[in-house]
Amino acid sequence: MIPEHNDSDVITEKQAISIIIFGEPASKANSRRVVRFGGMSRLIKSQKALNYGDAFLQQCEKIPVLMTGDLRVTLHIWYASRRPDLDESLILDLMQGLIYENDRQVKERHCYWHLDKEEPRAEILIESIEDVEPKKKPRKTQGNRG
């Protein structure tokens, strides 16, 4: 027997995209250099970070409709040597405006360090997740005064 009222939820299609970017990403924390402009010192991206950004943009096309809502990013980063620190922040920055509007949408990250001397790369999976709701503070009641 089919009930007259169907209270099931509609589940919208999950957004997900997988990308492989070849080349070794620079660590954002270690990718700044000091230069002097008009007597003032400024921090700018290192040449390695600039080169990686160029390589990234050549390999990652802008998707027609940017991903919306809260996102989970899983990164497997293969480095050419054991020296670099695991740092996904430059990759997250570079995906802004190409995959999603802003890296603040990333609410969950899983990042893994690997070694591949022959073919350094980043394998990236971006998935939509349920929006993260702020925790509600418990309401104070008359008998709950502290």
User: What pLDDT shows up at residue 146?
Assistant: 54
- Check: pTM over 0.85? Answer yes or no: no
User: What pLDDT shows up at residue 49?
Assistant: 87
User: What pLDDT shows up at residue 72?
Assistant: 97
Residues 85-124, buried b or exposed e (16+ Cβ, 10 A)?
eebbebbbebbeeebbeebebbeeeebeeeeeeeebbbeb
User: What pLDDT shows up at residue 43?
Assistant: 57
User: Which domains does the chain possess?
Assistant: 16-132 (3.30.1330.70)
Residues 130 and 70 sit within 8 Å (Cβ to Cβ): yes
Lowest-confidence region among 25-34, 62-71, 85-94: 25-34
Question: Chain-wide mean pLDDT for the chain?
Answer: 82
CA 71, CA 127: separation in Å to the nearest integer? 6
Q: Which residue has the tokens 């995209």?
A: 17
Q: Which of 118, 44, 33 minimizes the C-alpha distance to 78? A: 118
pLDDT at 135 over 90: no
